[in-house]
Amino acid sequence: MISKTFLRKHAYSIANIIIIILILIVYVSVQMGEMAFFKEMAARWGGDEFIGVIRASEDESKEIVEVLIGELKKAETQRTVTLSCGLVKVNPQLSFEKNMEKADEALYFSKSNGKGIVTVYKDIK
């Protein structure tokens, strides 16, 4: 995937390493045709948090994130890296902030119940 030499040479922060790994996983999956529907985006939200949009059902989105978590566990990193995720189906009737609050609530549920898991907002309500 990404060599340690490459990472050392470019001296990326751990958060940047994570986003590079996620982008590569998505790219390879699309090239292999495993996620041909992938028209998503991911961006660094701040610090060690990222925001992403997946145009799929909640169940499909959860499955995609679980694959990413599994791939991240296999990646060679100098430090332990985990990915906890909160998913919410965007409600167009709510503001961006309200949708983000729901995603945050699901994320913090994941973090407090064991790192490296994904939680769908509707499953905690």
pLDDT in tens, 27-52: 555 555 554 444 555 555 666 666 77
How high is the pLDDT of residue 70? Answer: 81
Q: What is the mean pLDDT of residues 85-91?
A: 89
- The answer to whether the pTM exceeds 0.85 is no
**Structure confidence at residue 93 (pLDDT):** 94
Q: Is residue 40 classed as helix, strand or coil in its secondary structure?
A: coil
Q: Give the mean model confidence (pLDDT) for residues 94-107.
A: 90
H/E segment holding residue 44:
strand 41-46
Domains present along the chain, CATH in parentheses:
4-123 (3.30.70.270)
Rounded percentage of the chain residues whose pLDDT exceeds 70:
56
Rounded (5°) CA angle 88-32-10: 80
